[in-house]
Amino acid sequence: MTRARTVASIVMPCRTATRRGGATPPTIPRANSCSAHNLRSIPRCILRFRSGQVSKRRVVIVVWDGLRPDLVSSEVTPTLTTLAESGTRVRNSYCVYPSETRVNAATLATGCYPGQHGIVGNKLYVPEVDPHGAVVTGDDATLTAIAERDPPLVAVPCLGDYLAEADKSVVVVSSGSPGSSWLSNPRPQDHLYNRALARPAEAQAAVAQFGAVPPDSLPATGWLDWQARVCVEHVWPALQPDVTVCWLTDPDHTQHRYGLGAPRSLDALRGCDDVLSQLLASLERLGWRDDTNIIVTSDHGFTTRQPRHETDSVQALIATGLKAAPDSDDLIVSGGAIYLTSEAADRAAGIVQALQDNPATGAIVVADDGPAAGCAGTLPLSAAWGGSLHYRRPDIQFSPVWWDGANEHGVLGYAAGPAGAGHGSTSPRDLQNTLILAGPDVRSRMTSDVPAGLIDIAPTALAMLGLPVPAAMDGRALTEVLRPGAAGEQATSTPELRPETASASASMTAGGSYRQWLRFVHVGETQYFTAAGAERD
């Protein structure tokens, strides 16, 4: 079985990363691992800091997995609220699409769109690893297999590479999955401390002193406490990293089970706030607080899920004769991603039509270079990825419909799906994430309405450390929230904003029409995908 490589009409120009043997983007040298890139060959022409500045700064990036910005409050998250009031809160911040954890962990690490770094979903279809289905990227064994059989795992340099080039270091401390931990810094030689994975060998020896990792619980109190201890009792005093990525598995871990606004989910938020309090207290004890910039963010938002019409896409495709059986490999369906094998390439238009006919389906984007390109009513996948397209991309990517009603706890935002709570859709409630910055280089007591996103954290961290922002990064240093002394004269200017909407329509089989839209906003050269949806009449 082979993956379809039919080239249909190209809807829009895009930067495409192809498999071995094909052309690769000229600005990104390829190698077998992120750490092996020849960084000196990458232009460092974007200098967004005051020339000659010598920085002794540290940066601490704290990721609250799945934290919606509207759930930050003085009652539930007092420490985070106080931090936001002392620094800058960015009100219009976005993750990248799909709004899934490992996709955004790689974007956090690289400052690039998924079409550049190649982690295009929580599950990936990599025929060299499993020709019959998509593999879950949450464990280190799967990522190792991808890195060995379809290198490089991450196709662009990461923050850790640029820091190493400047003789600086990054350490990841995480209570999330081993996969998200690995992708937060894909350099195997750097220190990583996860509840199920530690590297290198000296890291494994260090965590032994903390005893057994506590068992899973909801909220994940034991894991969070273990993580905080590892960071403040070992990582900071012993390793003194320039950048720390502290990834908290809650509130995501608990919200998936109990839902948004539920008592246990609020307890999960309180637990994360307590960890943040411990981290800030440790910075004070070490005498680092005045020299440390703190970035608190989340990898995605969250929505309440509710069944609506036919939400099982596999069964719907089987019922229409477009897929042979649930486990058949004629076409691979993984969540909202569909990969067409060579035998299914001629079904592309029928699959798109079936999705459009299903009232539970929202926006549909298709690979610019795949067999579904140009199908009526679709838009190019590269449009959601800043014009880039990686060869691991699905041929068809669709989102469930979403709406903005309130759940039983008064939290807004629904998407079609099995009852519960989740993320991954094109709803603004899933795409909008939390972004709060504070520290010596951040403007005080400020709220920024300039769009920003997870893609900007790596470039901003480099600027805070007095390092250049590489041209290879798609994100930008958030000069509008940095003090002039930290980011040069650009810090006083207002970036140019350019909103944009793309739309497409098609006729449905049973009558009526399907129309979808994608919304973006550009700040300078960086694009933020803010929402997409579909309407039927």
The pLDDT score that the predictor gives to residue 489 is 42
Do 93 and 170 share a domain, yes or no? yes
Do 125 and 105 share a domain, yes or no? no
- Whether the per-residue pLDDT at 516 is higher than 70: the answer is yes
412 belongs to a structural domain: no
- Identity at 143, one-letter amino acid code: L
The pLDDT score that the predictor gives to residue 182 is 98
The pLDDT score that the predictor gives to residue 484 is 86
Do 176 and 268 share a domain, yes or no? yes
SS (H, E, C) 22-54: CCCCCCCCCCCCHHHCCHHHCCCCECCCCCCCC
- Whether the per-residue pLDDT at 412 is higher than 80: the answer is yes
Is it true that the peptide bond before 98 is cis, omega within 30 degrees of 0? yes
| pLDDT, tens digit (0-9, with 9 covering 90-100), for 218-262 | 999 999 999 999 999 999 999 999 999 999 999 999 999 999 999
Contact 381, 367 (CB under 8 A): yes
d(CA 58, CA 461): 9
Contact 349, 7 (CB under 8 A): no
- Whether the per-residue pLDDT at 33 is higher than 90: the answer is no
Strands 58-64 and 292-297: parallel
Least trusted range by pLDDT, from 154-168, 210-224, 275-289, 319-333: 319-333
The pLDDT score that the predictor gives to residue 48 is 37
Nearest residue to 105 (alpha-carbon basis) of 493, 379, 455, 443: 455
Q: Per-residue confidence at 46, pLDDT binned at 50, 70, 90? A: very low
50 belongs to a structural domain: no
The total number of structural domains that make up the chain: 3
Q: Per-residue confidence at 493, pLDDT binned at 50, 70, 90? A: low
The pLDDT score that the predictor gives to residue 216 is 98
Contact 439, 292 (CB under 8 A): yes
Do 142 and 198 share a domain, yes or no? no
- Whether the per-residue pLDDT at 30 is higher than 90: the answer is no
Do 380 and 247 share a domain, yes or no? no
Which residues are registered as beta bridge partners of 2? Answer: none
Do 300 and 320 share a domain, yes or no? no
Mean pLDDT of 284-296: 98
Do 90 and 231 share a domain, yes or no? yes
User: CA of 485: how far to CAs of 61, 243, 417, 496, in Å?
Assistant: 21, 20, 48, 21
Do 129 and 102 share a domain, yes or no? no
Q: 140 lies in which domain range? A: 120-153
> What is the model's pTM?
0.91
The pLDDT score that the predictor gives to residue 509 is 86
- For 467, other C-beta atoms within 10 Å of its C-beta total 24
The chain-wide mean pLDDT, for the chain, equals 90
The pLDDT score that the predictor gives to residue 309 is 77
Mean pLDDT of 185-204: 96
Spell out the residues 6+ positions from residue 387 whose beta carbon is closer than 8 angstroms to its own.
12, 13, 14, 15, 115, 527
53 belongs to a structural domain: no
35 belongs to a structural domain: no
Structure tokens at 455: 């893609």
The pLDDT score that the predictor gives to residue 226 is 98
| Size of the chain in residues | 537
49 belongs to a structural domain: no
Q: Per-residue confidence at 487, pLDDT binned at 50, 70, 90? A: low
Do 192 and 289 share a domain, yes or no? yes
| pLDDT, tens digit (0-9, with 9 covering 90-100), for 49-107 | 333 444 489 999 999 999 999 999 999 999 999 999 999 999 999 999 999 999 999 99
415 belongs to a structural domain: no
Q: Per-residue confidence at 14, pLDDT binned at 50, 70, 90? A: low
Q: Domain with 169 in it: what CATH number?
A: 3.40.720.10
Do 266 and 320 share a domain, yes or no? no
350 belongs to a structural domain: yes
Mean pLDDT of 406-425: 97
The pLDDT score that the predictor gives to residue 56 is 81
Q: What is the DSSP string of 91-131?
A: SSEE-PSS--HHHHHHHHHHS--HHHH---SSEE--TTT-T
Do 100 and 234 share a domain, yes or no? yes
38 belongs to a structural domain: no
Least trusted range by pLDDT, from 148-152, 177-181, 319-323: 319-323
Do 279 and 394 share a domain, yes or no? no
The pLDDT score that the predictor gives to residue 8 is 28
Element (H, E) at 310: none
